[in-house]
Amino acid sequence: MSRFATRRSKLRRLMKQQGIDSLLITNYTNVTYLTGFTGDDSYMLINRNDAVMISDSRYTVQLAEECPDIDVDIRTSAESIVTATAKIAKRIKSKVIGLESDSLTLSLSERLGDAMQDLKFESTSGLVEKLREIKDKHEIQTIRKAVKSAQRGFDAIKATMTGDQTEREIAFNLEHQMRQFGANGTSFDPIVAVGPRAALPHANPTHQQIKDDDFVLIDWGANHDLYMSDITRVLVTGGKVSKRLEKVYNTVLKANTSAIKKIRPGAVMKNIDATARNIIGKAGFGKYFGHSLGHGIGLVIHELPRLASNNDAVLEPGMVVTVEPGIYIPGWGGVRIEDDVLVTKDGFEVLTSVPKKLENCILDL
């Protein structure tokens, strides 16, 4: 049985628990997860016995190559995907169809209802996303490769960084280097933020030069065969570490390492967040740490689970999460240190290995 067939079997068990005999997958990422198909504009309808991909002629060959173990219905150009879906639902004798309410638009749900008035629809939430939280061996291996490409790309741009380079130049060079080292692309547009601009957690790179301040924050990740990595480091570019930067940096580093040490199966996610948040709060920077501690990574850069202060869920083996505490002070700048961490059977494994002690982050420009 392929890993995709195994995932569909697990999904069928969840469907049975929820009392639905069919589930329409309209979220393209979920379709990819369940089938291996890397295109878009295609749905999958699954019941307790069958699974059918609903697509169009652009993907006939691609579907045959990527999804050899699943039935495919290629609709004509004159047939809408809604009409094709209704036809398949009738063929496989669906009675109650679950819809992915987290991603389905109101317009599409109304069109599906009009096309299948004799069927009952039920709203579902997070069925496939729940499966995606736990990575299998292949997914973990691919994420490792994404981490490796990201780290090698960063090492390359770090070794050649000069003061007259701009945020944009570094971001573009970083993407190029990651591709050189095997990445299919980036997980997201790299964030490169000099000095005060580092107070923007999602700053867009500008023409500001590295030499314009004493430090730069870089947040980047590689996409390797659809799976993502996500890393953040701060580099000291002014030659000398100010007292303020030293205090902020070491506070964030302590929060990062202390939270990682708490990761293990059964650990409550909000408690991991609290570990980092308490350290930053006690240092007097609590109001400058506004986002959650971390998130899952996988087929998308932000997915379940969430290491958040309002999340009572527990960690399980196979989850891969970021740990990224930060302090962002308007007018001065920000520090974020982010690692990718695998939850193992008895603890954790930090997948990222970019040095993060302050003395290792000082560049001589």
- pLDDT tens, residue by residue, 154-173: 999 999 999 999 999 999 99
pLDDT at 238: 83
Looking up tokens 């480091």 gives: 233
CATH 3.40.350.10 assigned to domain 3-130? The reply is yes
3-40 pLDDT, tens digit each: 999 999 999 999 999 889 999 999 999 999 999 999 99
Q: What is the pTM of this model?
A: 0.95
Q: Is there a contact between 30 and 128 (Cβ–Cβ < 8 Å)? A: yes
Ranges of beta strands (E only) in 5-119 are 22-25, 43-47, 51-56, 71-75, 96-100
The secondary structure of residue 127, as a DSSP letter, is H
Percent residues over pLDDT 90 in the chain:
88
Query: Which pLDDT score, from 0 to 100, does residue 182 have?
Result: 97
Lowest mean pLDDT among 103-107, 200-204, 294-298: 103-107
- Residues paired with residue 209 on neighbouring β-strands, in sequence order: 166
Q: What is the pLDDT of residue 74?
A: 94
For residues 77 and 249, the model is more confident at 249
Question: Do 175 and 191 form a contact (C-beta atoms < 8 A)?
Answer: no
Q: How far is Cα 93 from Cα 237, in angstroms, rounded to an integer?
A: 65
Q: What is the CATH number of domain 137-361?
A: 3.90.230.10
Longest CA–CA separation in the chain, Å? 72
Alpha-carbon distance values, 49 to 23, 44, 209 (Å): 12, 13, 59
Integer-rounded Cα Rg, in Å, for the chain is: 23
Has residue 321 got a pLDDT over 90? yes
For the chain, what are the domain ranges? 3-130, 137-361
CA angle 133, 136, 137 (to 5 degrees): 145
Alpha-carbon span 35 to 134, nearest angstrom: 17
Question: According to the model, what pLDDT value does residue 112 have?
Answer: 87
